[in-house]
């Protein structure tokens, strides 16, 4: 029997990359459960949505009855939990949705999973996996220039978003400790790549530059992030799901530390090469860089020690920051129909017609 994987948040940036990887590189049946908030975009799954192994349900993970029905109908061998509110600025402006989805939603999903898992035959119960996908932001800020986040770094979240994700991490581990649920936890660094929602730094800079709009940089732009190409991340998540040790945490990083201002300037350099016909009145893309007031509680540096996943599972990223960023910029240049529909809001209008549930 072909195994089924239940993916929550599969219409999001990372979730859609995971589903594309599952449907093109495995024989699994994939059930995508996504509430379709503003950042959920089924058009990111257009290349695989016609697969007979793909099923989509527009379900809120806080809806226990709906989750129970999906578990009963599809009997998944694993859950990959990616559903989350994830934009720091939005969490600062209003934290309620982040608490509801990231904390209450994770609790609801854990309980639905536990009801299903506890009723499985012994062999299937032992083989089952609950894979919780989290972020390096739960660790907070790094002070030293050589320090790295490891799997045992103490949690010290700085924003409502990261605090809600830290809460979810703790819930998942508690359900493992208390109920024996077979879990896996991964904490990743900043993702980037195709299909990234335009409010995030890299796509925001690309699209603003193409429109001749200011390129906003928080503070002095010296904040450091470790950048991970999203398709590398998707491959890592499948490795953890298939070969990771139950109960363990794996940090997933791109080995690509960059200051935010360096990222913005690198995008400008690539656009000079790949899109030399600049908007009217723009002499150089870098001229659009604008420094703005820093975000409250802005962490200065994140950096992942990904040696454990390399040592135990043999995973290393394929893309360097240079190769991944070039692919990303070129993808946005080649796919204006995808991002233009997001900027106009049109992507929300056709959702009913693209829902495939059976």
Residues carrying an active site annotation: 136-137, 161
Q: Is the Cα dihedral 147, 150, 154, 160 positive or negative?
A: positive
Q: How far is CA 243 from CA 78, 172, 240, in A?
A: 13, 19, 5
């Amino acid at each position: 029997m072909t195994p089924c994987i239940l993916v929550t948040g599969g219409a999001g940036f990372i979730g859609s990359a995971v589903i594309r990887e599952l449907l093109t590189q495995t024989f699994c049946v994939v059930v995508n459960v996504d509430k379709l908030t503003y950042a959920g975009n089924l058009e990111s799954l257009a290349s695989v949505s016609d697969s007979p192994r793909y099923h989509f349900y527009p379900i809120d993970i806080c809806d226990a009855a709906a989750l129970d029905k999906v578990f009963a109908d599809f009997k998944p061998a694993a859950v990959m939990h990616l559903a989350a509110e994830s934009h720091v600025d939005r969490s600062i402006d209003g934290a309620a949705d982040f608490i509801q989805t990231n904390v209450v939603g994770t609790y609801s999903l854990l309980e639905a999973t536990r009801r299903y898992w506890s009723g499985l035959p012994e062999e299937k119960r032992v083989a089952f996996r609950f894979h919780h996908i989290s972020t390096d932001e739960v660790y907070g800020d790094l002070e030293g220039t050589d320090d790295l986040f490891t799997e045992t770094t103490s949690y010290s979240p700085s924003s409502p978003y990261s605090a809600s994700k830290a809460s979810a991490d703790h819930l998942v581990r508690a359900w493992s400790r208390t109920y024996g649920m077979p879990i896996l936890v991964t904490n990743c660094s900043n993702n980037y790549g195709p299909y990234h929602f335009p409010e995030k730094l890299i796509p925001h800079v690309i699209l603003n530059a193409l429109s001749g709009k200011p390129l906003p940089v928080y503070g002095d732009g010296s904040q450091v992030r470790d950048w991970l190409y999203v398709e590398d991340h998707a491959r890592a998540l499948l490795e953890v799901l298939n070969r990771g040790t139950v109960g363990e945490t794996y940090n997933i990083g791109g080995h690509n530390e960059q200051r935010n201002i360096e990222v913005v300037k690198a995008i400008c350099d690539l656009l000079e090469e790949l899109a030399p016909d600049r908007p009217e009145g723009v002499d150089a893309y870098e001229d659009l860089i604008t420094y703005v007031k820093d975000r409250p509680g802005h962490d200065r540096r994140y950096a992942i020690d990904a040696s454990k996943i390399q040592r135990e599972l043999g995973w290393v990223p394929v893309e360097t920051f240079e190769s991944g960023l070039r692919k990303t910029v070129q993808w946005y240049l080649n796919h204006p129909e995808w991002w233009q529909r997001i900027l106009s809001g049109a992507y929300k209008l056709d959702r009913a017609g693209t829902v495939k549930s059976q």
